Amino acid sequence: MSDQEKYVPHPGEPAPEAGNEQHEAAAYGDEEMQIVHKQLERENGEPEEGFTPVPMVLMVCFGLLFFWAGMYFTKYNGDFRPDVFGTDWTPGGNSAQAQAPFDPIKRGDKLFSNNCAACHQPDGNGVPGAFPPLDGSPWVVGAPERFVKIVMRGLHGPVEVKGNTFNGNMPSYGENGLNWDDRDISAITTFVRQNWSNEAPPISEEQVAEIRASIADKTGAWTAAELLALHPME
Amino acid sequence: MKNLPLLFMGIFFCLAFSFSGLILSSMIQYGHLEPVTEFVNHPDTGEQIPGAFIEIGDKLVQGVNQPDEQTFPIESVGLAQQGKQTYINMGCLYCHSQQVRRKGFGADYERGWGDRQTVPRDYILQQRVLLGTSRTGPDLMSIGMRQPSAEWHYLHLYNPQFTSPGSIMPPFRFLFETRKIGDAPSPDALKIPDGFPAEKPPAGYEIVPTDRGRELVAYLLSLKLNYELPESRFSE
Amino acid sequence: MSPLLSFFSSIDPRPKPGVPLKVQLSQIDREMRVPIVLFVVSAILWLQAGTVFALIASIKLHNPEFLGNVEWLTFGRARSAHLNAMAFGWGNNAIFAVSLWIMARLCKVSVKHGGLLVVAGAFWNVGVTAGVIGILTGGLTSVEWLEMPPQVAPLLAISFILVAVWGVIMFRYRALGHVYVSQWYILGALFWFPWLYVIAQTMILWLPARGTVQAITNWWFGHNVLGLWLTPMGLASIYYFLPKVLGRPIHSYYLSVLGFWSLALFYNWAGVHHLIGGPIPVWLVSAGIVGSIMMVIPVVVTAINHHMTAAGNWRAVWCSPTLRFIVFGGMSYTLASLAGSAMALRDINVITHFTQFTVGHAHHGVYAFFTMTMFGGIYFMMPRILNREWPSAALIRTHFWCAAIGITIMLVVLHAGGWIQGEMMTALDADGKPKYAFLEIVTALVPWLFSRSISGMLLSIGHLAFLVNFFWMLAGRKGDQDGPTLLADPNEEDVR
């Protein structure tokens, strides 16, 4: 009798079960027969286990796996220190990395994509009606003082850029804002002045430091009118 | 495998093993960290030490804070604290993580999500830690530095397409209300971009954030990673 | 007889001696009818609710304006409602039904006072309903796998323990003799789950631990809901139904023992792999990785054991609704677990972490393995509980093919889309700048998310077929034929 025949009964007949099952069926009294559902009559006995041994090859593989696990954990446990977070740590090692030379354009690029592009957009064209463009904007490529001052204190209220008026609040990246140092402000302004179709000269760290000193007393954001009074549009 | 007490002992031991190995030992090892100054001193000699901990004999001892220096992290308070509730119950965490991986493991540093990796101490003052496991949207650990403009956040929450065309972030218009302009336009009324005429309020009306909207933006602006810790320095 | 004595004899679950096996089983089926029908009905209704939330969340991911102004269905809430309806509504009710029934049968004990089980089960469902409504109305906790507002936790914990105690009582009063592998898994899981749940609730929501200890607790719990709750129950079902329907013993007792203890020992360390690269000390991460890799042992062992049992009986597997689902589930268990171990390796995790790959993997384990197995169990159990046949083989076939094809599509698109997402996210150009802007990654992901919605619709059709067939059966519709409802004629030799 194949397994398959054992599994499926013929319609309308009790299942052709294995020998012991038939004995069991014969043992039912009439009343007990009533309460055994017909699904049960045809079903196999409760599951059992065979006792095939575990293949040796498998045990060897698992042994190797244990060995690997031990090696891995020994290598990457960071000496169980609470202040080791990377896999490259070695006892007593110094993780100081060699520093690449400073490149203002690279730094400015990073600062721009992380801090400016969300509003002024990666193509520097801004969002019409909400955020002014930087590409070709006289506020950017004109007098360095005007541009640096905006970055250092922010800009508040209406401003006209390339024939459109924007009314917004640019946040400050100077002392009353994100507090960038001279190097970063020089990098971001230089990058914006030389990216896309802009071709204005760079702004040096020294220039930034000078402007920073000159506006030390200024609190709060500029308005466009204030800036234009100080540095009229060319 | 027939003996209930023995089977039960095994079942108990297995979970107890990982419970003590992972959770109890974490509690003991870094469940009591305190805010520190950006550099700490040797507890005996008083000299500045390179990391947060120093080996004295066989023991790993935490350095002592430098006097009169600001300690970090700083607890978030007020509006920002309330805004975190909105962040939590809107489920922002399911698309935005708040953790920075070390430089060289993933591109977190290169994407400008933080200048250093975050470590356990960064989270010790948070009642609920929101590390997150999904970056369907960008990491927000330092969004307050990356995007300090409240105006941008309001526009982006109202309709992400305004500022990030193609984004799949849901709009949160229910954090705003359209109301009649009073004596003068509100300073924080939304300036809907020209490209979306259908979204502009009717003449004489303005769209302003509700209290929940204001709190949420205050929370986002408070997320900064602008300080160093003895165990995690800015990467260059 | 004194009243006290008669009370005790009324709850003594041991069968009267000398009753033949099938009469005992029949008695158990009859005694468990009411609670099991309650659990299965709730499970199936939760399955439908979970499917609706899943579709809403899935469509929102590629079409954010869809129901965009309905605050209580914003993406974060809809997906959490989906997860909780599925895990705690569908999953737990199905487990209560199938595992308690298997336990009762294997222990050969009669179930007295099943009414108490009904009360406990009813409270469980009240708790989950309150929890899901809580999520939608602003009580979402944003703790993964513990999203329900903490106020419902005591209700859930108490009703869970009331249900679980039945399993322990059954085991305690079992008929003497051999203890079968399914019983170990069920006993273990019934004990593990409340421990995990209570610790996680306490350390994250009631008395929050400091800093990222919360994160460790969260993933110790979250991963173990899968590893020490859904998985053991799924495996217990496979271990029961596979030999039961085929009528041949499980391949090897020794492999069963090895599989059980290695799972119990390693699985609960694996959860930390959700925090690789995160703000926890590296030794914890490495421990989690080792635990995840060592999971290869129980998985391979179980796969061999199941495969060797089923080998040579593929015709029977093809014909039996139960076995089709169970074998699909068993194969998915092997694949999902091996993929999970691989994903724990740092070099792979750095790509797959934070992407849709992880989402795909979660569905691989919870749907393709666990849910399919439970479907199979219910297809076997209900005819015996109700003393009726399934009314329609066509509906079972629809259910199977929609579920199998739907989940396969979903797994393919989420794994592929997630991998691409991860590669784009980490790709750097020669200058060390990210190669792709974030919005480019999002845009590239959208077609994959759209395909996922399509696969979700297939799954929904399958679930509807299941619902119709089940309630049809419950309403008294009997199958046309006398014998069992099969999916193919077992006497045809052509497709062997």
Q: What is the DSSP letter of B203?
A: T
Write the burial class of residue A228 (CB in 10 Å: 0-12 exposed, 13-18 middle, 19+ buried).
middle
Task: Please check whether residues B51 and B118 belong to one and the same domain.
Answer: no
**Max Cα distance, chain A (Å):** 111
User: Cβ A114–B146 below 8 Å, yes or no?
Assistant: yes
Of B105, B152, B236, the CB nearest to A119: B152
Which pLDDT score is estimated for C3? 60
Got the DSSP string for C298-343? HHHHHHHHHHHHHTT-HHHHHH-HHHHHHHHHHHHHHHHHHHHHHH
- Residue C223 touches chain B, beta carbons under 8 Å: no
Q: Give residue for tokens 């809107």.
A: B90
Of C23, C250, C287, the CB nearest to A73: C287
* Contact indicator for C182, B99 with CB cutoff of 8 Å: no
Same structural domain for residues B97 and B60?
no
Distance spanning both ends of chain A, measured CA to CA: 102
Q: So what CATH class is A104-230?
A: mainly alpha
Alpha-carbon distance of B163 to B176, in angstroms, equals: 17
Q: Are B139 and B66 found together in one domain?
A: no
Q: ω before A91 within 30° of 0 (cis)?
A: no
Q: Do C252 and A49 touch (CB under 8 A)?
A: yes
CB proximity under 8 Å: B 210-229 to A: 226
* Together in a domain, B185 and B127: yes
Q: Do C247 and A32 touch (CB under 8 A)?
A: no
In the predicted model, is pLDDT for residue A95 greater than 80? Answer: no
Look at B162 and A82 and tell me if their CB atoms are within 8 Å.
no
Domains of chain C, residue spans: 15-177
Chains touching C (at least 3 CB pairs under 8 A) are A, B
* CB proximity under 8 Å: C 357-386 to A: 383-384
**Could you tell me if B189 and B105 lie in one domain?**
yes
**C492 CB-contact burial (10 Å; exposed 0-12 / middle 13-18 / buried 19+):** exposed
B7 contacts in C (CB within 8 Å)? 179, 184, 187
The alpha carbon of residue A87 is apart from the nearest alpha carbon of chain B, in Å, by: 10
Tokens (6 digits) for A178: 């994100």
Q: B155 CB near a chain A CB, below 8 Å?
A: yes
Chains that touch A (3 or more CB pairs under 8 A): B, C
ipTM above 0.90, yes or no: yes
Give per-residue pLDDT as tens, B35-51: 999 899 999 888 888 88
E strand or H helix that includes residue B207 = strand B205-209
Is residue B187 domain-resident? yes
- Please measure the distance between the N-terminal and C-terminal CA atoms of chain B and give it in whole angstroms: 59
Interface test with B, best of C58, C70, C75 (most B CBs within 10 A): C75
pLDDT of residue A20: 41
Same domain, B83 and B191: yes
Regarding whether B84 and B183 lie in a shared domain, the answer is yes
CATH number at residue B131: 1.10.760.10
From residue B39, alpha-carbon distances to A203, B65, B66 in Å are 33, 7, 7
According to the model, what pLDDT value does residue C312 have?
85
Among residues of chain B, what percentage have pLDDT more than 70? 99
CA torsion sign for B103, B107, B112, B114 is: negative
Is residue B2 a part of any domain in this protein?
no
Residue B90 within a domain: yes
Task: Tell me if B19 is assigned to some domain.
Answer: no
Q: Would B1 be classed as within a structural domain? A: no
Q: How far apart are CA C296 and CA C357, in angstroms?
A: 20
Q: Are residues B195 and B162 in the same domain?
A: yes
Full residue range of the structural domain in which residue B135 is found:
78-222
Name, in order, each residue with C-beta under 8 angstroms of B193's C-beta and a sequence gap of 6 or more. A127, A128, A129, A130, B155, B162
User: Do the chains contact at C80 and B135, CB–CB below 8 Å?
Assistant: no
Domain boundary among B46, B71, B96: B71
Do residues B155 and B41 both lie within one domain? no
Domain boundaries, chain A: 3-42, 104-230
- Give the tokens for residue A199: 């071709």
Q: Smallest Cβ distance to C26: which of A36, A44, A86?
A: A36
pTM reported for the whole predicted model: 0.88
Give the residue on A whose Cα is nearest the Cα of B222.
A178
In a shared domain, residues B118 and B39: no
Q: Tell me which chain B residues have a C-beta less than 8 angstroms from the C-beta of C62.
A: 168
Token pair 């009717």 is at which residue?
B202
- Spatial distance between the Cα atoms of C475 and B12, rounded to a whole number of angstroms: 44
Interface mutation target, options B2, B8, B9, B18, chain C, most CBs of C under 10 Å: B18
C451, B176 contact by CB (below 8 A) = no
Q: Where among B43, B71, B99 does a domain terminate?
A: B71
**B54 and B164 share one domain:** no
Domain boundary (B16, B47, B71) is at B71
Using the beta-carbon criterion (under 8 Å), do B147 and A167 form an inter-chain contact? no
Residues across chain A: 234
Whether residue B139 lies inside any domain: the answer is yes
- Interface B-C, measured as beta-carbon pairs within 8 A, has a size of 220
Reported confidence tier of residue A103, pLDDT bands at 50, 70, 90? confident
Residue B15, in any domain of the structure: no
- pLDDT tens, N- to C-terminus, chain C (496 residues): 466 666 655 556 666 666 778 888 888 888 899 999 999 999 999 999 999 999 999 999 999 999 999 999 999 999 999 999 999 999 999 999 999 999 999 998 877 778 889 999 999 999 999 999 999 999 999 999 999 999 999 999 999 998 888 888 888 888 877 889 999 999 999 999 999 999 999 999 999 999 999 999 999 999 999 999 999 999 999 999 999 999 999 999 999 999 999 999 999 999 999 999 999 999 999 999 999 999 999 999 999 999 999 988 888 888 899 999 999 999 999 999 999 999 999 999 999 999 999 999 999 999 999 999 999 999 999 999 988 889 999 999 999 999 999 999 999 999 999 999 999 999 999 888 899 999 999 999 999 999 999 999 999 999 999 999 999 999 986 655 566 777 777 665 433 3
Question: Is the domain of B62 the same as that of B179?
Answer: no
Rounded CA-CA distance B124/B102 in Å is 19
Total domain count for chain B? 2
**Residue B18 domain-assigned (yes or no):** no
Q: What are φ and ψ of residue A154, in 5° steps?
A: 85, 170
Torsion of CA A55, A56, A58, A60, to 10 degrees: 170
Q: How far apart are CA C21 and CA C28, in angstroms?
A: 11
Helices (H) then strands (E): counts for chain A: 12, 2
